[in-house]
Amino acid sequence: MANKPTKRDRYAELRGFIPTDRTDLLEFIDNEVELLNKKNASHSNKPTARQQENAQLIDPIYDGMVANKKYTVSDLIAEIPALAGMNTQRVTPILTKMVNNVLVAREMVKGKAYYTKI
């Protein structure tokens, strides 16, 4: 399926159909395109505060793990002091990021996830 035309594409196409003496419509289209440009420019790709906190937890988790030992998320929370008081929903995304960065391996055994230091 072909890509759906964007709003910017549609405005450019409409601009081609409008006669040049209709400055009010041309100004409207230009204004709408400018608003789209501002909207896209306002998005930032910097990490959120929670993402920054999670990134700082990667090293303590990695350092606290023993090679070739299988850990569940609950085991890691119990054994690593930096994770004390956190829940599994908070720690699992950190471990997923570590799996994606090839720091730990994830293995499913009977529906339970085990993480191993690589």
Residue 2 lies in a domain: no
Instruction: State CA 62 to chain mean position distance.
Output: 21
26-79 pLDDT tens trace: 999 999 999 988 887 766 778 888 989 999 999 999 999 999 999 999 999 999
Over 70: is that where the pLDDT of 1 sits? no
Residue 64 lies in a domain: yes
CA-wise closest residue to 59 among 8, 113, 106, 103: 103
Give, to the nearest 10 degrees, the angle between helix 23-42 and helix 7-17. 160
Number of domains in the chain: 2
85-102 pLDDT tens trace: 999 999 999 999 999 999
Decide if 62 contacts 116 (C-beta within 8 A): no
Cα angle at 49 between 95 and 113, to 5 degrees?
A: 15
Q: Do 31 and 67 have their domain in common?
A: no
Q: Do 96 and 65 have their domain in common?
A: yes
**How far is it, in rounded angstroms, from Cα 29 to Cα 93?**
43
Is 0.75 surpassed by the pTM of this model? Answer: no
Predicted pLDDT of residue 38? 86
* Residue 117: both structure tokens together: 């230091």
CATH number of the domain encompassing residue 97: 1.10.10.10
**18 lies in which domain range?**
7-40
Residue 111 lies in a domain: yes
Predicted pLDDT of residue 94? 95
